[in-house]
Structure 1
Amino acid sequence: MRYRFYFLALLLTACNNGQNKLSDRSSDSSAIREKYATSAVLDATTAISHMQVEKGLEVQLVAAEPLVTVPVAMTFDEKGRMWVVEMTGYMPDTAGTGEEIPNGKVVILEDTDHNGVADKRSVFMDSLVLPRAICLVGNGVLIAAPPRLWFVENDHDKPGKKTLVDDKYTEGGNVEHQPNGLLRAMDNWIYNAKSDKRYRKVGNKWLKEQTHFRGQWGISQDNFGRLFYNNNSENVLGDYFPAGLGAGNSQQKNVAGYDEKIVPDNKVYPVRATTGVNRGYMKGTLNDSLRLVNMTAACSPLVYRGKLLGKDYDNNIFVAEPSGNLIKRNLIRDSGYIIKGRQAYQHQEFLASTDERFRPVSLYDGPDGALYILDMYRGIIQHKTYLTPYLKNEIKSRNLTNPLNCGRIYRVVPAGQHPAATIIENDPEHLLSLLGNANGWLRDKAQQLIVDHHYTTLVPALRSRLQQPLYAQVHALWTLEGLGALQLADVQVLLHQANPYVQAEALAALPAVMTPANGKAVLNELKMIEQNVFLAPYVALLLPSLPASLHAETDSLRGRLVDRYANDRYVADALISGMAGKEIALQQLLKAIHPDTTLVLAKRLKTVLKDIENHKKASMDESLGKTYPRGAILFKTVCQTCHGADGDGIQSLAPPLNQSEIVTGDKHKLAAIVLFGLTGPVTVAGKQYKTPEISGDMPGIGSNDEFSDKDIAEVLSYIRGAWSNHAARVTEKDIQEVRKHYKGRQKSFTMAELK
């Protein structure tokens, strides 16, 4: 009996302790919420005092309202002026009322008294609806004004002749999921995030080509022209290999070495409570201090190449996280052609603010070597499409809707320094000298200006620079390519050097010089390096560029690569990328050399062939769009941007809808997912998808007043009948029943719950 009382006492003590801990946590949480119950609007100078930046550095104000409002994208010209895109119409309230009003602008900001602070504003172009990207090219400006991409000639800082470059640049998708970036890369092509297209101006013509699908918001390059990007829940993604290779097979979902996870650690360390995030109510989103645990709005990765901050920062990749009011720093290293990275710190950030309205959305290298930050400075950062009732309440409780007329541009510099604006003299010899400058922005700009002004008188000097130190020779190579003056002999200069990174640049440039006349010489060069493990993937990626007249010799080289590298995923995928429409022939070649079906090349070929067969069976019935017109529109604007136009999913974003038992199964479960969202691992067609392969969360749209129950029923009916799916339609009544059944629910489902 005594032991029973003793056990009961222990049990009561444990229960009381548990209740006390819960009570303590609840009390702590309430105290934290009370501390951050209001969100003051701070002037720019005061806002800087709320920032914590790494020791030895400081944040300086470059521009603030009324000189600039709601900045989302920027580029510098050779005069050191900032061309800024203002997305003035973004989310005026939680319903997005008035987003279609043409109040967006492209403005030019200038520092006329050279004190480091902009003091002059000129409107280059106005009356735009949610403009999102900009790039200076030749005598004009590329401007992304959804859904179109325009080239606008610059007539003394006023818009001149307009040329439509792409009438479907941002077709489909909402504001958070539309192409952007317009990065003018080292290879003279313009690349984008949230896109599989690249662009280039040649003479008076604009070229558009298919490339790898990359990222979500923002895109950057390193000193070798390799591209880096991310999505809202992943720190850094990127390419191991040259941007322009390996995208030739549309049936191949992904190619090893592209869209790789460079920094897999997505933890964040805000310096204030961040309850105003879209899923703050979900367990694990916030910690006990009510601070964001993992990235939820990661954007605009920047490879810092400015030199001003010091050697330790060279080639670091900075990432903005506006929901966490912070900027992250990542350290990157190469191991062969593989690039890996890690966060620079544990439990702290490069820059973080206690000001909830600090919303860094875009990062840039500057002509002066500083790191530039575009701050939308506003309360609402989440777009209406996925805005949860929880976040709507957060916005209302702290009056985060207003004001809407703020915006700041900052720069990070060594403490006490005030670098002067850098103006580039438009002189061929001066531009030539800048190709070897320590500041990567100046090297890039010098190359672009030489190409834009077609300074062919520099060709002999550029050829001589092919023998100079690393960055000067790489830029000389691509400047010659941009001028249309690159020759095979120029490429061979770099190809025969000992540095494998220089050799890789030469291989990337080979397609630009390859002709039927020199194809044999190129083939011989590739034969000489085919056994080099570091360069073998490049050789495989280049096979499609070889002249058709050399098909026998090319097939022989392909066979040797299959023989030697059948178990190398990078070479395997490179081989598949070059055999579009000939995958069965490649499979037969592999079987003749290596009958082992467990080899990497065999397994990856099997996957591609299966996808091809599925596509043949899957025909998008055009009548679906007529039967469910609103469903077709919603699919393009809400679903397609993550799940793909073919319904087969997009790497790093979302799993397939095509042949998904979730889509074609119980329509009430599907409706629950779309209304309330889905979190955690999900199995489709026998394969489990989970982070980091895809984003771990799919937001629900049930609380979005823009979509009626009939609309949601239509989009579900649409995807249940699309591609290879053949499932019964969903009715408006079905949606209403699911809403009624889960009335009051806010959090997303897991697959375990739905089962």
Structure 2
Amino acid sequence: MNRKKWVIGIVCLSVTVYTCKVSQNTLKRDADGKIVVNPNPSRKVLSPEESLKTIHLPKGYHLELVASEPMVSEPVAIAWDGNGRMYVAELNTYMQDVDGTNENVPLCRIKRLEDTNGDGKMDKVTIYKDSLLLPRMILPLDNRILVNETYSNNIYSYEDTNGDGKADVKKLVYKNDTKDNRNLEHQKSGLIWNLDNRIYVTVDAVRYTFNGEKLVPDTLIESPGGQWGLGNDDYGRMYFSAAGGENPALGFQQNPYYGYFNSNDQFNEEFQAVWPIIATPDVQGGPERLRPDSTLNHFTACTGQSIARGDRLPADIKGDLFICEPVGRLIRRAKVQDNDGKVSLVNAYNKEEFIASTDMNFRPVNSVTGPDGTQYIVDMYHGIIQEGNWTQKGSYLRPQIVSKGLDKNIGCGRIYRLVYDGIKPSKVQPKMLDESSAKLVTYLSSPNGWWRDNAQKLLVLRKDKSVVPALEALVKTSTLPLTRIHALWTLNGLGALSKEVLFAAFNDADPKVRKTAVWASEDLMKANNDDILTHLDALKDDKDAQVRYQLGLSLRFNKSQKAQDIIDYLLKNGTKDNIFAQSQRRYINVKNEREESVRKAQAMIAEEGKLVTDGSVIFKQLCATCHGQDGKGIVAGGKGMPAPPLADNKDVNGNPERLIKILLHGLKGPVDGKTYPDVMPALGGNDDTYIASVLSYIRNNMGNKAKVVKPADVKKVREQTKGRDKNWTIPELDAK
């Protein structure tokens, strides 16, 4: 206990130290040292140079402009290929007016930017691919770039074969012609090649492996959650966020392959408070989301998160989590802490943010570590940052936007890099696409995570097994734990990880290497359980909680008695509330509820059963963001729920016509006397079967028991309410 208190004290001290580093000279402060907020910020479009002057950072840090309009316009995501060329996804049709007119016209682009003289600024641009529909995900492979467009599940690879910077070959690498009709804000994002050589996305219950020509899907047991943005750290831990649920960070306790799980105390209510330096009236939800000084009081548009993984910033920032908040015009820097296996987040500053701007058009939407060892920030620089469903006539947000003229501020965009005084960004131009596999192996020892990731990815894509001896030697002899970790996963990706090397890694002196070895053992166990399980059994008493946690997770789906015995041992010999025990309890509950749902569906006639089954998928991908995976609402960090719970709900079990109206046209205002921070968006753009399915699911699960809703029921209500263009309120529904 004394040791725990000592550790907590050190953590608190470290946060205080970080707080002291905030610049006291760049912002006006009152007598108590509190920042004086600008109550009437200008909505005027500023030049990049002018806007930079409005962006405030701690002493020693500053931003450098990398690219701006007209070179880029409405940028939302960036990525580099192995030769250091930057690809930029642009949403050129996003909210060009307050109604989102022509938003879904395929006029968007992916551009390729290059820095030809090494000064850190992009000076060459080509339109790599145009005529796209809101491209939101890009993943460079080798000479190919994977791209996914909004409303589509299909993923294509593009390639420039003649060196002119423009894609001239297009191939379908993942085919799923089912159209995704969810609102733009509820679509998946990511397409991140993670440490384990799997490619991850948000929202959808799927991850992929690339076999050289095609993406091979691997269905997850449930949605990983999240919305816009997906980050990962040096050790393959993934970070999601959900603007709809106003949840700045989730999914980081365990890989989504093992199921959706978050600890209620992984951050507190204080962490969810944000600290803009200007009034932020253009926030969906209105005054209750604002402080008396008109600043945003908590995360709402949390997005574009990343972990600082470069080597050209101060050492104390490495491993920190960045969370973009474009409504607040700020970026949070969070310290990531491990407490006996459970990861938690703490703001690095006391009631202040790492980056904040007084420019109303500053809209940071993404961040990522670059090949030069710095951190890059994507600023969409856009007047409106809310999808059209929430800017309709009668909404709180619409007059705020129009009165300030924010709907006129379009066609811009900036990309910055974060630098620190006295530390110069690297000028080494990557040439990985042209280098030998043996040379790529050396980059696994780079201090910059970007170089390690891309070297591993290219080695796995090449399938060149001539480097296997060199990789095995790294696992056994490298003095750098991260090098040993990447070598293990590269061997795994090449299908060349031997048991002898794996077992050696089980005994590595570094716990993160041991944890990695346990994780990597899953693929080998698919072919042969016995001797691997024998070696894993020796790790059930590992002194490191993260190793034991991973051991339990890696055996979760293993049906052998030996694996279950190890899990039982971990549960019996751990504390009741340790992180694995919490995760396992939730998994068992979900498993039991799913089996019960299947039994109910099988007991129904085929048509009704299909409605319930299809509705389950829709709910987990969309509705769970705000209502919770189990329908019991979302509680994180001690704050109130973003939407009403649906479990054991009298309205859910009541007249289905009321529910149909809500799903078709949305709902705003208090529910059962309680005001929630967001409106229920209209889902009427989906067909009758879609609406009927999700309602049938929630009316037959989560403790609810009512009749299914048929497509014909939805059609009838749709016709009755045809022409309605605003959300319902509870008094209106009660009066019907």
User: Which interval holds the TM-score relative to the shorter structure?
Assistant: 0.7 to 0.9
What is the CA–CA distance in structure 1 between the aligned matches of 2:212 and 2:718, rounded to whole Å? 58
Which among 132, 142, 153 is matched to residue 138 of structure 1? 142
Match of 2:248 in 1: 235
The Cα of 1:638 is off from its aligned counterpart by: 7.2
User: For residues 699 and 143 of structure 1, do their structure 2 counterparts lie closer, same or farther at Cα, with a shift above 3 Å needed?
Assistant: same
In structure 2, how many angstroms separate the alpha carbons of the residues matched to 1:354 and 1:513? Answer: 53
Match of 1:521 in 2: 531
Name the CA distance, whole Å, in 1 between partners of 2:588 and 2:124.
58
Instruction: Tell me whether 162-171 or 263-272 shows the greater mean CA deviation.
Output: 162-171
1:35 matched residue in structure 2: 40
Q: Distance in 1 between matches of 2:149 and 2:587?
A: 39
1:626-637 aligned at under 5 Å gives the runs: none
The answer (yes or no) to whether the contact 2:224–2:256 under 8 Å persists in 1 is: no
In structure 2, do the counterparts of structure 1 residues 502 and 378 end up closer, same or farther at CA, with 3 Å as the change threshold? same
Matched residue type, 2:212: G
Aligned position for 1:173: 182
**Partner residue in 1 for 2:461:** 452
Letter matched to residue 726 of structure 1:
K
Instruction: Determine if contact 1:151/1:165 at 8 Å carries over to the other structure.
Output: no
Distance 1:184 1:499 in 2: 24
Change (3 A) 1:496 1:32: closer
What corresponds to 1:662 in structure 2?
651
1:231–1:299 Cα contact (<8 Å) kept: yes
Structure 1 residue 611, shift from structure 2 partner: 4.7
Q: Secondary structure at the match of 2:445?
A: coil
Contact 1:358–1:378 (Cα < 8 Å) also in 2 = yes
* Alignment partners' CA distance in 1, 2:197 and 2:678: 36
Q: Aligned AA for 2:457? A: Q
Secondary structure, counterpart of 2:455 in structure 1: helix
- Distance change in 2, residues 1:366/1:661 (3 Å): same
Contact 1:86 1:105 in 2 (8 A): yes
Q: CA deviation at 1:453?
A: 2.8
Is contact 2:644–2:671 with CA below 8 Å preserved after alignment? no
**Pair 1:90-2:91 in alignment:** no
Report what 1:16 is aligned to: none
Q: Distance in 2 between matches of 1:98 and 1:472?
A: 49
How many residues were matched structurally? 658
Amino acid aligned to 1:414: Y
Q: Which residue number in structure 2 is paired with residue 347 of structure 1?
A: 351
Of the two, which has the highest radius of gyration?
Answer: 1
1:113 shift after superposition: 2.2
1:82 maps to a residue whose letter is: M
- Per the alignment, residue 220 of structure 1 pairs with 231
Check whether the contact 1:152–1:163 (CA below 8 A) recurs between aligned residues.
Answer: no
Task: Name the counterpart of 1:726.
Answer: 707
Q: Does residue 1:497 correspond to 2:486, yes or no?
A: no
Offset, 1:523: 1.5
Render the CA deviation track for 1:416-463: whole Å, top value 9, x for unaligned.
665354322323343222211111111111212222233422211111
Counterpart for residue 532 of structure 1: 542
Question: How far did 1:465 drift?
Answer: 0.9
Residues 231-240 or 174-183, more deviating: 231-240
Q: How does 1:371-382 map to 2 (within 5 A)?
A: 371-382=375-386
> Residue 63 of structure 1 corresponds to which residue in structure 2?
67
**Equivalent position amino acid for 1:351 in 2:** I
> Residues 121, 393 of structure 1: CA spacing in aligned structure 2 closer, same or farther, 3 A cutoff?
same
> Does 2:459 align with 1:471?
no
Q: 1:609 is aligned with what amino acid?
A: N
Are the counterparts in 1 of residues 202 and 230 from structure 2 also a CA contact under 8 Å?
Answer: yes
Structure 2 CA distance for aligned equivalents of residues 606 and 192 of structure 1: 25
Letter of the 1:236 partner, please give it.
A
Distance in 2 (alpha carbons) for counterparts of 1:638 and 1:234: 15
- For the residues of structure 1 that align with 2:533 and 2:123, how far apart are their CA atoms? 57
Quick one: structure 1 residues 476 and 607, their matched pair in 2 at CA, closer, same or farther if it must change by over 3 Å?
Answer: closer
Q: Distance in 2 between matches of 1:210 and 1:566?
A: 32
Q: What one-letter code is carried by the residue in structure 1 that aligns with 2:651? A: I
Q: Greater shift after overlay, 714-723 or 220-229? A: 714-723
Matching residue of 1:331? 335
The answer to whether 1:208 aligns with 2:217 is: yes
Following superposition, the deviation at residue 41 of structure 1 comes to 0.8
- 1:491/1:289 Cα in 2 relative to 1: closer, same or farther (>3 Å)? same
Q: Using the alignment, how far apart are the partners of 1:465 and 1:452 within structure 2?
A: 20
Whole-angstrom distance in 1 between the partners of 2:194 and 2:236: 6
Residue from 300, 307, 311 that aligns with 1:303: 307
Please tell me the root mean square deviation across aligned C-alpha atoms, in Å: 4.1
Pairs within 5 Å for 1:53-132: 53-132=57-136
Q: Aligned residue for 1:407?
A: 413
Identity %: 30
One-letter identity of the residue aligned with 2:437: P
Q: CA deviation at 1:72?
A: 0.7
SS of residue paired to 2:157: strand
**Any unmatched runs of 5+ in structure 1?**
1-30, 248-253, 576-600, 684-689, 691-695
Aligned to 1:394: 400
Task: List per-residue Cα deviations over 1:175-208 (Å, max 9, x = no partner).
Answer: 1111111111111111112232111112333211
Task: Describe the SS at the equivalent of 2:205.
Answer: strand
Are the structure 2 counterparts of residues 105 and 415 from structure 1 closer, same or farther at C-alpha, using a change threshold of 3 Å? same
| 1:443 matched to 2:452 | yes
The alpha carbon displacement at 1:605 in A equals 4.2
Cα contact 1:537–1:574 (8 A) shared by 2: no
1:551-585, Cα deviation, whole Å (9 max, x unpaired): 4544544554555459456444666xxxxxxxxxx
Give the whole-Å Cα distance in 2 for the aligned partners of 1:255 and 1:84.
32
Residue ranges of structure 2 left out of the alignment (5+ in a row)? 1-35, 637-641, 701-705
Equivalent position to 1:151, from 157, 161, 164: 157
Change (3 A) 1:480 1:415: same
Cα distance change, pair 166–346 in 1 and its aligned pair in 2 (3 A): farther
Q: Deviations over 1:708-738 (max 9, x none)?
A: 9xx999987765555523288687599979x
Aligned to 2:592: 609
3-state SS in 1 of match to 2:120: coil
- Code of the aligned partner of 1:480: L
Superposed CA deviations along residues 252-306 of structure 1, whole A, max 9, x for unmatched, are: xx4467x9845651111111111111223x32x1111111110110101111011
Q: CA deviation at 1:409?
A: 0.6
Q: Against the structure 1 CA distance between its residues 375 and 621, is the aligned structure 2 distance closer, same or farther, given a 3 Å change threshold?
A: farther
- In structure 2, the CA distance between the partners of 1:34 and 1:749, relative to structure 1 (3 Å rule), is farther
Q: Give the TM-score normalised by structure 2.
A: 0.79
- SS across alignment from 1:423: coil
Distance in 2 separating the partners of 1:572 and 1:171: 36
2:483 aligned with 1:483, yes or no?
Answer: no
What letter matches 2:555 in structure 1? L
Paired letter, 2:218: E
Corresponding letter in the other structure for 2:235: F
